[in-house]
Amino acid sequence: MQYLPRIADEQLTEKLSYAGAVCIRGPKWCGKTTTAEQHARSALYMQDPDEAENNLMLAETRPSLLLRGERPRLIDEWQDAPQLWDAVRFSVDREQLTGGYILTGSAVPGKQPRHTGAGRISFLAMRTMSLSETGDSTGEVSLGALFGGVAEPEGCSEKNVEDLSYLICRGGWPRAVTASREASLHYAADYVDAVCNEDVSRVDGVSRDPQSARLILREYARLTATAASLNTVRADLAAHGRELSKDTVNSYLSAMRKIYTIEDLESWSPSLRARSRISKTPARFLSDPSIAAAALGTNPDGLLRDMATFGVLFESLCVHDLRVYADAFGGKVYRYHDNTGLEADAVVTLPDGRYGLMEVKLGASFVEQGAASLMKLASKLDTSVMGQPSFMAVLTPGGYAYRRDDGVLVVPVTTLTR
């Protein structure tokens, strides 16, 4: 399969230039191993069935033997033998290495290493592919340029809601991106099957019921882009005849976080001119919009018949891509919601304090509403502390990118890149 370059490639190259080792973390099938292989000169695959038993035995007795090989050396799925973490840390310390190892992991290890790896091992979050990486965005509007104060964004995408319904359900799985249209829609469903039938139990050795896992994941998907409490999940389960305790539901959700299936969106707490109570509850998101679609049992045609679900999954896609692009600048993505009902679907912040405010709207008829909300939020911010936002933008499915008379940008997500 032809390798499709990833935004993470540049991040990995940079980290290898100064860190002794780099640990790439993210959901299974997102492309961690394939990307790492582009940079590694040798590799150890812990889940190779021909060598797995021998590798685990060596990890217990002589982990240093598994580190032998040209560097950078890839250690794939290192969490299967957490001892390797401490062995890598020791090797980096003893040999004063730079760019010695690349570790990949699709789950938090059940047994934590003795040492954190601070100062020796750098972390790289990797997600499924963004629209820019899959070629489904024209890439004409750069997030970096928006922060740089581009006067007039220029870009045009011919993608429409029918295209977006497919892209949401296909997701950013590398193999799905290169598969036929029909085959590409099976990957997210297979991922959900793997999570519910195997991974939620395998991650920490706690046996969990696959049917309960599926129902909890479905209810979580229903809450996409909302700040609903986890009691809502339990209530919805009870309404469907599945009574589960709070601790049980939390156990399932904790397992899903450990395998990077869930990635909630934390709240932004800016300085405001006037008092408002800012919601601290994170917005519920899965790590790829296709997971939510598959958990809900819908497909592109189903989304087009349910515009409410389409809207929240489109927001999920936009947040996903913004996270990928913001990562390239060391940035973070948050949400804002206060007790007056004022909100911003996404707030992108950079390490130097710059920030951009964004609303997500599925239809052009809602752009005015999104722009008004952003303007109102900007007027509440204490700019003597925060500074002015670098930009305000409404993200849409397709069409033209342009600047409105009020200064708010309209940017199709299918024109956006890092």
* HSE-up of residue 259 (Cα within 13 Å, Cβ side): 22
324 plus 388 within the same structural domain: yes
Tokens for 40, please give them. 């590694």
d(CA 141, CA 150): 10
Q: Are 297 and 309 in contact, with CB atoms under 8 Å apart? A: no
Q: Assess whether 266 and 303 both reside in one domain.
A: yes
> The domain containing residue 153 runs over which residues?
131-417
Single residue among 69, 101, 125 that ends a domain in this structure = 125
Position 201 in a domain = yes
Along the 418 residues of the chain, how does pLDDT read in single tens digits? 689 999 999 999 999 999 999 999 999 999 999 999 999 999 999 999 999 899 999 999 999 999 999 999 999 999 999 999 999 999 999 999 999 999 999 887 766 666 667 789 999 999 999 999 999 999 999 999 999 988 789 999 999 999 999 999 999 999 999 999 999 999 999 999 999 999 999 999 999 999 999 999 999 999 999 999 888 889 888 888 888 999 999 999 999 999 999 999 999 999 998 788 999 999 999 999 999 999 999 999 999 999 999 999 999 999 999 999 999 999 999 999 999 999 999 999 999 999 999 999 998 889 999 999 999 999 999 999 999 999 999 999 999 999 999 999 999 999 999 9
Identify whether residues 84 and 154 lie together within a single domain: no
Enter the tokens of residue 39.
Answer: 């940079």
Q: 72 preceded by cis ω (within 30°)?
A: yes
Domain shared by 163 and 89, yes or no: no
DSSP letters along 258-295, please?
A: HTT-B--BPBP---BSS---B--SPBP-BSSHHHHHHH
Shortest CA distance to 339 belongs to which of 266, 231, 267?
267
Q: Which of 87, 102, 125 delimits the end of a domain?
A: 125
Give DSSP secondary structure letters for 110-171.
SS--SS--TTTEEEEE--SPPHHHHT-S---EEHHHHHTT-SS--EEE---HHHHHHHHHHT
Which of 90, 125, 160 is where one domain is finished?
Answer: 125
Statement to judge: residues 257 and 114 lie in one domain: no
* Inside any domain, residue 48: yes
1: in domain? no
Domain count, the chain: 2
Instruction: Give CA–CA dist 307/19, Å, rounded.
Output: 46
> Count of alpha carbons within 13 Å of 135, Cβ hemisphere only?
7
Q: How far apart are CA 337 and CA 344, in angstroms?
A: 7
For residues 230 and 345, state if they share a domain.
yes
Q: Are residues 121 and 135 in the same domain?
A: no
Indicate if 159 and 72 belong to the same structural domain.
no
Q: What is the largest CA-CA distance in the chain?
A: 68
Q: Is residue 74 part of a domain?
A: yes
